[in-house]
Structure 1
C-alpha cells in the first residue's frame, strides 16, 4: 500500500463525506435484497447437465485460441506445485515476457511484476471480472491479499492491450483470475510450509460440498510470516476467503467475502553500489541517530493495512444461446505506514516553534481510509458462427488521506489525534463494450471489440494540486483468426487503448493521458506432443508515461510523459512432450523498446532505450516424472540487462541475471483417513547467484534491491 498514501493538503481539516457512509449501509441492504430473492427464483438443478457455470463469471474478459489475442493460462494444478507462501507475481515468473521483483528479496511481502517492460500499474487485474487495481495509484498490492493463490481456480495473462475489460486500461497486459469453483463433495485441506528466513505458511481450507444438490459453503484461513532476506524486512500476513454458492440447472449464484491484513517492515529504500558489495542485506529504513549520537533503528517502521472484499455474482444460462452475468462489489481498505523522522521541520507538521527550536524528531503515520464499490454486467449470445458479448461496469472510489504525529520530541501545541494534513479524493469509472467473434468461413473468423470508457477524477492535496479531470476514451479492437488446418492457426489483431494518469503522475504537473496502438501477429501450432505459440508485436505510444527511475519521498515511482515511443518484440513459448517422463516448456522474448526524440528538462537525447525494459527475457521449465505422482522440475529464468532511467546513463545499467529453481512434488494417496498427502519442496536460486532484479536512481546514483541467494521452502498438504 506504499503508493496509496500520498496527498497532503496542509492546514486543512476536510470532513469525511457522510454520503459515503450512507452508501455503504444502503449497499449492504441493496445487495441483501437482491441476493435472497434470487434463491427463491433460481431453477432446480439437474446435476447431469451442470456445465462449467463458473466460467461465465470471467467469460466477458477472457479469450480462447479462437480469439486473435496473445495470452497464457495457469490452472490450479500448476499453481499448487509452488504455492508455498510466495506472492502471485512470483508464481507467474516463468510466463513469457514477465519479470518479477521482491523488495524483501525472498518473494514474500511487497512484490512487483512487469510485462513487456510495463510495470504493475499498467497491468489491468480483475478478480472474477471485478477490478482489483487501486483506483488512484493504479497499482496492485498482493501483500494485501496473502496466499490468494490458494483460492484461485485459474488465471489468464493477456499480453498487450488484450480485450476490453473492466477497470483501468491495459497498457502492458491484463490479468484476470477466477476464484475457486464449487465442489460436489465435502472436503478439507490442511497445508503448512517452512523455509529460509523463518518463512512459514499455514492454510486451512474446507468445503461442505453441494448440500441438497444446490448449496455449498467453502472457505480458507491463511497465515504467513517471514523475516525476509533483507534486514528487518519482516512480514506478518493473514487472510481469509469465504464463499457461498447456489447451483441450479441454469443458475449460479456466488457470494464471496475475502481479504487480509498485513504488517510489513519497510524495505523499499534500496542500497547503494558500495553497500551492495559490502552488505547486501542492509536496510536503511527506520535508521536514525539518537540524542547520544548512537545509530539506531526504529522498531515500528512498518506498513499496516487491511482490506476486505465483498462480491455477489449471479450467472444465468437463459437458453443454449443466451447467458448473463450480473455482479455487485464493495471493497473496504484502511491502514497506515509509520515513520521515524529525524530533525523534521516543525512547520511541515503544523507545529509552532518552541522558542528558537524549529525542528524535532517525531513519529508520523500516513493514513488511507477508502471505499470502492460498483457493478459489472455482461450478456452473452452464442450460436454456430457468432459469439458475442455486451457488457460494462460502473465503479466509484472514495479515499481519505490524512496524517498524524503520534510522538514528537518537541510536541509544541499539538493534541493527540490531530491531523497535519487531510485530503479527500473521488474517482468514478464507467465503461460499456461490445465484442464479437464471427466465423466468416470454415477457416477464417473475425473479431471486433468496441469500448467506451469515461473517467472522472477529483482530488485536492498539496502534492497533486486541485485536480478535477474528466476523460472520455474510445477503444476499438479488431482482428482475424485463420485456421490453416487442425494444427496451425494464424492471427492478426489491432487494438487501441487510452489511459488516464495516476495520483503520483499529477504531482509532476502538466501530465497528459496516454494513447497506445497495439499490433499483434501470431502463429499457434497444436499437436499431441508439441504446442507452440509465437507472435510479433508492435506497441506504438503517444505520451507514454514512462518510469524515470526516480522515486518520491515515500517510494512511489515517478513517471513522465514521453511524446513518442514504441515496443517492438517477438515472443515464443512451447510445450514439448519428449517422452512420458520428460516435458520441456521453453519461452523467450526479444524486443526493442525505445523513446523517440526524447527530451528531458530541455535537453535532447534522441532515441533511447525505455527504462526497465530488457531486450531479452527467457524462461524454461524442465519437468521429469520418474514415477506416477512424482514431479521434479527445473525452472530457469534469464533477464537481460536494462537501464533504470531513459537517458542510458552508464551508472543506471542493471546487470543481466540467470537463476535456476528446483521444485519437487510427490503425492501419496492412502487408502484411509486422507484422500491425498502431498510433499513439496522448492529450492530457489540453486546456484546461489548474487543478483539484483530491480533498482532506482537518486539523481545520478543507483540504488539496488538485491534478491536472496540459495534458499528453500518445504511444504506438506493433507487433503481429506
Structure 2
C-alpha cells in the first residue's frame, strides 16, 4: 500500500506538470450530453411528478472529510442517519421517511447496489466513494422505475464523476477526533484524442467514539474510456477493503444514563462474567460489549462496470451496462461457554462446554446487465429499459480455535448454505408534454424474482427455500406549470417487494410479499433568489413485514406481515438568498406512521424457585391497534445557514432535529429514543496561489454544542419469573450513543 501511494504521488506530480487545456467547452458539453443518456431513463427531472433532491459534488466536498456517505446526506429532507461507532466512520445507516436501508433502492450508474439477500446497503464496503461521485439524487417514495430491489421508501441514485476535460491531480488529507484520518490521491489525464483515464486511491482510519470501535478502510477507483460526439464507452473498476472492530451490540440503557443502580440490576439478571461486569460498571457512554482483540468484520468487495452509450440520431439513443461484483469476507467472534454440540452435534461429547473463536463467512458473486432505449421527438419521450441480475452467495462458518478437550476439525465448515437469486425487470416509460403547461408521465414495470437457498443455517437448522414472485409496478403522474416559477404535480405508484433471506429462512410462517400504494401531491416555486416546495404523501402498505416480538426456533427475532399500515405526511423545503453573503436553506417533515393492528408477542418463562428448572415457556400475545411504526419520527427538521464573508470563503451552521422514535411497534415511551437537536459547523476557504491550481481548507465541527444523544437502538422483552407469580415483564433497551463535540479538518491540493 505504501509503495502504491508513493507511485501515485509521483504520478500526481507528473500530471500536474503536464496538464493543459484541451477543447474544454466542447468536450464538457459532449460529456454531459452522453452521461444524460446513461441515466435519463431512471432519473427524475424538474418536470417529473415525484419528490426528489439532487446534491452535487461541489455541495459535498467541504464536508467529505472521512465520514461515510449516509452521514453526508443527513441534511436532506426526511432523512435520519446513525453510526454504530458514534462518529460517522464504519457501519452507518440511513432512513428515509422512517424506512430503513433495506427499503431504499440504491443504484450506482444505474447498477443495483443493495445486497440481494438482505436487501440492505453496507457503505463501509465502499469507503470514500463520495470522492468519485459527480452527483446524487434521492427520490422519496416509490419514485421512477429503477433496477434492483423495490423502492419502498426511497431511491438513492449515484452517478460517478464526469470525465475531466483537462489533466488534473488532487490530494486530500484530513485528521480529526478519535484518531480519525483520511488520505486520498486522485489523478486524471483529461480527454485527449477522445480517450481519458482517471483514478483514486484512499485510506480512512478511525478509533471510533465507542471503545475499540476502530476502522481501517481502503478503497480505489479506476476509470478509462472513449467518447466522441455520439458514443461513450467507459470501463470502471472500484472496490474497498474494510476491517472494522464490531460495535453492533449497543449500550444498555442504564449504562447510557449512568444509572449505577440500573447497571447493577442489569448485571444481577444477566449473569455476566466478572470482567464483563467490570466493563459495564466502568465504561460509561462509550461502552462496547466486545473485548476480544480481534472481534472484527473483515470484508473485501470489487465492482467491475462497463457502460456504452450511443446517440444514433437526434431522436434515438441507447445505453447498455454490465457489472460484476465479487465479495468475500467474514466476521470473527470469541464465544465463551459454548457447547460442542452447537457446532458438531454428532460428536459423542456434544454436551461438553468450552470457548471457541469462530468466523462466519460470506462469499458471493453478483452479475448485472441493464439497458435502456430512448426515443425523443417534439413533446414525446419514450424509454424501454430494464435489467437482469443474478446472485450467488455461500454462507459458511469455521472454528479457528477452541478449548474443548475433545478433538474437533479446525478450519472446516460447521455449517454451509448457499443462496441463488435471479431478478429480472423491464419497464416502459412515456413522458409527454400535453401542452406548454401540462406534463404527463406513465411508467409501467414488470419484475420477476426467483430465490433459492439450500443447506444449513448458522444455528444448524436445515434451510430449504424455493420461491418465485411476479410483480407489476405501475406509476402515473401529472405536472402543471402555471408560469416560469410555479408548478404543481401529483402521482400514484405501486411497488411490490419480496421478503428477504431471513424472512424466508427463519420464519415458521410463510411470509407474504409486501405491497405499497404511494400517493404524492406537491407544489414548487422557484425564483432567482427563493425556492419552496411542499409535498404531501400517503404511503399505504399491505402485508408490511415488521418485528412483532415473535421468535424463531432458536430465539432470534423474526418479522411477521401486518395487514394494514401507512405513512402519511408533508415535506416542506425552502431556501432564500438574503444577500450575496447570506442564505438560508431549510426542510421539515411532519408525519404519522401507523400500524392499524398487530399482535405483539412476549415469551413467558416460568421456573421452579427451588431448582430454577424451567417449568413452562409460552408466548403471551397482546393485541395493539393504531400504533406508531418503529424508528419513524413524526417530526424531522433540517436547516443550513450559510455566510460568505469573503470570496471563496464560507461559514455554515447545519442544524438537525429528529423527533421521538419508538424502538418497537407498541408506542411505548419506555421503549423509545428521545428527540434530539444537533448542530454542526462547516468552515471552508479556497485560494489560488501562483504555483498550484487551488488549495482548499475545510473544517467540520460535529455536535457543536456537545449534546448527549442516541440515534439508534433496539429492544426486547421477556418474562422470567417463579411459577405462578405475577411479576411484570423485563425489558432490555440498548442504544447507540453518538459522539459529543468532535472535529475534522482537511487540506485539499489541486494541481
TM-score, length-normalised on structure 2?
A: 0.86
What's 1:696 paired with? 714
Using the alignment, how far apart are the partners of 1:643 and 1:340 within structure 2? 32
| 1:213-245 deviation line (CA, Å, top 9, x unaligned) | x11110000000000000001100000000001
* Residue 657 (str. 1) matches residue 688 (str. 2): no
One of 137, 160, 171 as aligned partner of 1:190: 171
Taking a change above 3 Å as real, the CA distance of residues 488 and 458 of structure 1, as seen in their structure-2 partners, is same
| 1:169-200 deviation line (CA, Å, top 9, x unaligned) | 00010000000110111100011000000000
Number of residue pairs the alignment of both structures matches: 670
Alignment of 1:184-583 (within 5 A): 184-212=165-193, 214-278=194-258, 297-350=291-344, 358-410=352-404, 412-460=406-454, 461-462=456-457, 465-506=463-504, 507-510=506-509, 511-547=511-547, 558-583=558-583
Bigger radius of gyration, 1 or 2? 2
Residue pair 1:454, 1:470 contacting (<8 A) in 2 also: yes
| Cα drift, residue 549 of structure 1 | 8.1
One of 651, 658, 670 as aligned partner of 2:689: 670
Look up the SS of the partner of 2:670 in the other structure.
Answer: helix
Using the alignment, how far apart are the partners of 1:291 and 1:452 within structure 2? 56
| Cα drift, residue 610 of structure 1 | 0.5
Look up the SS of the partner of 1:534 in the other structure.
Answer: strand
Alignment of 1:37-52 (within 5 A): 47=27, 50-52=30-32
Q: Which runs of 5+ in 2 are unaligned?
A: 1-24, 280-289, 602-620, 718-730
Residue pair 1:641, 1:654 contacting (<8 A) in 2 also: yes
Of 326-335 and 344-353, more deviation after overlay is shown by 344-353
Look up the SS of the partner of 1:50 in the other structure.
Answer: helix
| Cα drift, residue 525 of structure 1 | 0.5
Using the alignment, how far apart are the partners of 2:556 and 2:247 within structure 1? 13
| 1:550-607 deviation line (CA, Å, top 9, x unaligned) | 9999999853321100000000112210110111110000000000022234431111
Residue pair 1:207, 1:219 contacting (<8 A) in 2 also: yes
Using the alignment, how far apart are the partners of 1:357 and 1:121 within structure 2? 39
What's 1:644 paired with? 663
| 1:391-422 deviation line (CA, Å, top 9, x unaligned) | 00000000000000000001633223211001
**Larger relative contact order (CA 8 Å, sep ≥ 6):** 1
Residue pair 2:204, 2:216 contacting (<8 A) in 1 also: yes
Q: Which runs of 5+ in 1 are unaligned?
A: 1-44
| Cα drift, residue 534 of structure 1 | 1.1
| 1:244-282 deviation line (CA, Å, top 9, x unaligned) | 0111110111100000000000001111111112299x9
| Cα drift, residue 504 of structure 1 | 1.7
TM-score, length-normalised on structure 1?
A: 0.90
* Residue 680 (str. 1) matches residue 661 (str. 2): no
| Cα drift, residue 503 of structure 1 | 1.1
Residue pair 2:199, 2:223 contacting (<8 A) in 1 also: yes
What's 2:287 paired with? none
Using the alignment, how far apart are the partners of 1:629 and 1:279 within structure 2? 49
Using the alignment, how far apart are the partners of 1:664 and 1:314 within structure 2? 40
Look up the SS of the partner of 1:274 in the other structure.
Answer: helix
Taking a change above 3 Å as real, the CA distance of residues 483 and 357 of structure 1, as seen in their structure-2 partners, is closer
| Cα drift, residue 294 of structure 1 | 9.3
Of 581-590 and 410-419, more deviation after overlay is shown by 410-419
Using the alignment, how far apart are the partners of 2:494 and 2:119 within structure 1? 19
| 1:275-323 deviation line (CA, Å, top 9, x unaligned) | 112299x9x9xx9859999989210001000000000000111111111
| Cα drift, residue 548 of structure 1 | 5.2
Residue pair 1:524, 1:533 contacting (<8 A) in 2 also: yes
Using the alignment, how far apart are the partners of 1:555 and 1:634 within structure 2? 46
Look up the SS of the partner of 2:44 in the other structure.
Answer: coil
Look up the SS of the partner of 2:499 in the other structure.
Answer: coil
What's 1:94 paired with? 75
Alignment of 1:81-230 (within 5 A): 81-212=62-193, 214-230=194-210
